[in-house]
C-alpha cells in the first residue's frame, strides 16, 4: 500500500483503526500541545522513554514532520481527539479547525512497528487477525512527572502463546525507539487491570488457553497525562487511529 | 572502585580524564544551560539522538540527578568549562561559583559505556591502554538544528584492527542510548578530518598498520553547538572529564 495514497484516503474522510495497514512502515502517535506546555511534554517523554519515544517534534504551528514530508498533520490521520482542560471535547476526522498557531506536534513511536516482526516470526497478532483495534489499559503505575505533567502508564496488550513469549520479547526488544520489550508479562492484576475484557481504549480480544497476556508501554500514555494534568488544550490522534509515515520500521531496529 | 569515593576525590580537587575509571558504570557528559535555552537543547538532543542521547535532565537550578542521587553536579566532576556568548571563558575543577538558579542540567550518554564491552571482547581501547584522553574531532557534518541551536557533529575515534571492526560495531550497537554503533568507519577525509594526529579535543593516539579509525558520535557535540550558536551562558564538563554516575552500563544495553 502506498502511504501517500493511504493518507489521501484519511484526508478524504475514511475513519478506521490503522493496525495492520502499510506493514513495514512506521505508524506514530500524535500529541500537539501549546508551545507553553511543550517543554513539559518533551521532558515527560525524556523521563518516560518507553511509553513516550519521541520520533519527531514540529516547530510551533507547523503541521508537518520529517517522517512524511508531504503530509499534513491536521488532516492526514483517520481520527483526532480535541481536549480542553483535560477533558475530551471532540472526536473528528479532520483537525484543521482545531489547530492553533502555537501548537507543537509530538510524534511518538507506536508498537505497531514491531508487529510486522511478530507476524514474520509466525506469532499471531490477535487484534490484526480479528480486524479490530488493539486493547489498551490505564495501569496503576505512575510515570515519572515532568513540570506540570504527570499521569499513569498506559499499556497495549497482545495474547502470546506461552512458548512464544520469549520470541515476542526478543523481537520487540530490537525496537527500543518504539516501546521496545514488554513492560509486563502476565498477571494483569499487578498492573491494576481488573478485567482484560474491558479495555480503557480500543477493543477487547480473546485470550485463549495457553496464552499469556503480554503488556507493552503504549503511546496513548501522553493522552492519559493530558487528562490527569488537566492540560488546557491538546489535539491528539484517537487511540489506534495512527499517523502513517513514510519511514520504514527498519530505521528503528537495533 | 566505589563511585561515591571517586566523586569525593574529584570534589576534593583531583583533575584527570575519566576513561577507564569505574568500569561497568555509566559516565555522562554534562551541559547546563539557562532555562530560556533548555527547550532548544532538549529538542536539539531529540533531533540528534546519536551524539546527544539524554539520560537525565534536572529541574532548573537543581544540581542533582537520578543517575547518582547523592552527587552534586557543581562539584563532583573532575573538570568543568564555563562558556559565555559561545566562547570558553574558564576551566575549573569546581563549578559552584559558576552555577546559576536558572540552569537546567542535561546529562548525556558517553561512549565510555561500551568500552567495557570492547575490552571484554578482547578489543584494545587505545586511549585506555595509553592512559590518555580519547581523541575527538569536529566533523563537516551539521547536526539537525533546533530553535536557536545548531552546529557540527563531534566524533570520538578508536583505532580498531580490521578483523575486529564488525565486532566493535556489533558490541557498541547494543547501546543505542549511549551513542550506539559507529557513524563512520575509516576515511577520515570524508568527515572533514584532515589529520588524525591533531584532534580538536582530547589526546592523539597511534593508528597502527592494519587498524581502521572508527568514529562514534560524541557527547561533546553540544559544546560545539554552544560555540556555533553563541549561547549566552553554559557550564559543561571538560572533554573526557566525565561525571561518573551510580548507574550500571547494563541499564542501557538492548
Q: Are residues A38 and A75 in the same domain?
A: yes
Which residues in B9-92 belong to E strands, given as ranges?
A: 25-34, 54-57, 80-84, 87-92
Per-chain mean pLDDT for chain A: 94
What number is the average pLDDT over the span A232-236?
98
Q: With contacts defined as CB-CB under 8 Å, which chain B residues touch A57? A: 43, 46-47
Query: For chain B, how many residues are written?
Result: 254
pLDDT tens profile B148-165: 999 999 999 999 999 899
Q: What phi and psi, each to the nearest 5 degrees, are found at residue A241?
A: -105, 80
Q: Are residues A122 and A175 in the same domain?
A: yes
Please name the residue that has the C-alpha cell 551510580.
Answer: B246
Q: Which residues pair with A149 in a beta bridge?
A: A146
Neighbouring CB atoms inside 10 A of A167's CB total 16
Q: Cell numbers at residue A42, please?
A: 518533551
Q: Does some domain include residue A222?
A: no
Q: Are residues A8 and A89 in the same domain?
A: yes
Q: Does some domain include residue B62?
A: yes
Distance in Å, alpha carbon of B92 to nearest chain A alpha carbon: 29
pLDDT band for position A250 (cuts 50, 70, 90): confident
Per-chain mean pLDDT for chain B: 94
Q: Are residues A241 and A154 in the same domain?
A: no
Q: With contacts defined as CB-CB under 8 Å, which chain A residues touch B177? A: 176
Q: Does some domain include residue A199?
A: yes
Largest Cα separation within chain A, whole Å, is 51
Distance in Å, alpha carbon of A162 to nearest chain B alpha carbon: 23
Q: What phi and psi, each to the nearest 5 degrees, are found at residue A240?
A: 85, -15
Q: Does some domain include residue A223?
A: no
Contact B176 A180 (CB under 8 A): no
DSSP of chain A, one letter per residue? Answer: --HHHHHHHHHTT-----TTSSTTEEEEEEEEEEHHHHHHHHHHHHH-TTT--EEEEPPTT----TTSTT--TTTSSS-EEEEETTEEEEEES--TTT--TTEEEEEEE-THHHHHHHHHTT---HHHHHTSPPPEEEEEEEPPPBTTB--EEEEEEEEEEGGGHHHHHHHHHT-GGGT-S-SEES-GGGGT-S-TTS-SBS------TTEEEEEEE-TTHHHHHHHHTT-SEEEEEPTT-PEEEEEEGGGG--
A94 contacts: CB under 8 Å, gap ≥ 6: A11, A13, A74, A75, A80
Q: Are residues B69 and B122 in the same domain?
A: no
Please name the residue that has the C-alpha cell 505533567.
Answer: A149
Distance (Å) of CA B47 to CA A37, A65, A111, B190, B197: 19, 12, 21, 23, 31
CB pairs under 8 A between A and B: 32
Distance in Å, alpha carbon of B200 to nearest chain A alpha carbon: 30
User: Would you say B29 and B81 are in contact if contact means Cβ atoms under 8 Å apart?
Assistant: no
* Residue in A with minimal Cα distance to B54: A46
Instruction: For residue B242, give the CATH number of its domain.
Output: 3.40.1640.10
Q: With contacts defined as CB-CB under 8 Å, which chain A residues touch B57? A: 43, 46-47
Is residue B253 scored above 90 in pLDDT?
no
Distance in Å, alpha carbon of A46 to nearest chain B alpha carbon: 7
* Chain centroid to CA B111: 7
Is residue A156 scored above 80 in pLDDT?
yes
Q: Does some domain include residue A88?
A: yes
Distance in Å, alpha carbon of A25 to nearest chain B alpha carbon: 20
What pLDDT score was predicted for residue A1? 60
Range of the domain at B146: 113-217
Q: Are residues A83 and A174 in the same domain?
A: no
Q: Are residues B124 and B69 in the same domain?
A: no
Is residue B131 scored above 80 in pLDDT?
yes
State the best of A43, A59, A109, A144 to mutate against chain B, taking most chain B CBs within 10 Å.
A43
pLDDT tens profile B79-93: 999 999 999 999 999
Q: Does some domain include residue B26?
A: yes
Q: Are residues B8 and B103 in the same domain?
A: yes
Instruction: For residue A155, give the CATH number of its domain.
Output: 3.30.2040.10
Q: Are residues B201 and B146 in the same domain?
A: yes
Of A46, A56, A254, the CB nearest to B42: A46
Q: Are residues A83 and A20 in the same domain?
A: yes
Distance (Å) of CA B31 to CA B151, B155, B226, B232: 15, 17, 10, 13
Instruction: Give the rounded percent of residues in chain A with a pLDDT score beyond 90.
Output: 87
User: Would you say A242 and A3 are in contact if contact means Cβ atoms under 8 Å apart?
Assistant: no
Number of structural domains chain B divides into: 2
Q: Does some domain include residue A238?
A: yes
Q: Are residues A82 and A10 in the same domain?
A: yes
- Please, is A189 exposed, middle or buried when counting C-beta atoms within 10 Å of its C-beta (0-12, 13-18, 19+)? exposed
Distance (Å) of CA A207 to CA A93, A137, A161, A199: 31, 15, 9, 13
Q: Are residues B127 and B89 in the same domain?
A: no
pLDDT tens profile B191-248: 999 999 999 999 999 999 999 999 999 999 999 999 999 999 999 999 999 999 999 9
Of A38, A43, A173, the CB nearest to B57: A43
* Residue in A with minimal Cα distance to B59: A147
Q: Does some domain include residue B102?
A: yes
Q: Is residue A173 left, alpha or beta, with left meaning phi > 0 and alpha meaning psi from -120 to 50?
A: alpha
Contact A180 B254 (CB under 8 A): yes
Please name the residue that has the C-alpha cell 593508528.
Answer: B207
Amino acid at each position: 500500500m502506498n502511504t501517500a495514497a493511504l493518507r489521501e484516503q484519511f484526508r478524504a474522510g475514511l475513519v478506521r483503526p490503522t493496525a495492520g495497514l502499510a506493514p513495514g512502515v512506521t505508524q506514530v502517535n500524535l500529541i500537539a500541545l501549546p508551545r507553553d506546555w511543550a517543554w513539559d511534554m518533551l521532558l515527560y517523554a525524556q523521563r518516560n522513554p518507553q511509553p513516550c519515544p519521541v520520533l519527531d517534534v514540529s516547530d510551533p504551528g507547523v503541521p508537518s514532520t520529517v517522517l512524511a514530508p508531504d503530509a499534513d498533520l491536521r488532516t492526514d490521520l483517520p481520527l483526532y481527539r480535541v481536549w480542553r482542560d483535560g477533558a475530551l471535547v471532540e472526536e473528528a476526522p479532520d483537525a484543521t479547525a482545531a489547530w492553533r498557531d502555537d501548537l507543537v506536534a509530538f510524534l511518538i513511536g507506536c508498537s505497531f512497528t514491531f508487529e510486522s516482526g511478530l507476524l514474520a516470526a509466525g506469532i499471531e497478532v490477535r487484534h490484526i487477525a480479528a480486524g479490530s483495534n488493539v486493547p489498551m489499559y490505564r495501569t496503576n503505575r505512575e510515570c515519572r512527572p515532568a513540570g506540570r505533567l504527570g499521569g499513569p502508564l498506559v499499556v497495549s496488550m497482545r495474547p502470546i502463546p506461552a512458548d512464544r513469549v520469549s520470541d515476542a520479547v526478543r523481537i520487540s526488544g530490537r525496537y527500543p525507539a518504539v516501546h521496545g520489550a514488554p513492560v509486563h508479562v502476565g498477571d494483569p492484576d499487578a498492573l491494576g487491570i481488573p478485567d482484560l475484557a474491558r479495555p480503557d481504549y480500543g477493543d477487547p480480544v480473546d485470550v485463549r488457553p495457553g496464552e499469556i497476556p503480554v503488556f507493552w508501554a503504549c503511546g496513548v500514555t501522553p493522552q492519559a497525562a493530558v487528562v490527569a494534568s488537566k492540560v488546557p488544550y491538546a489535539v491528539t490522534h484517537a487511540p489506534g487511529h495512527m499517523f502513517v509515515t513514510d519511514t520504514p520500521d527498519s530505521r528503528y531496529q537495533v
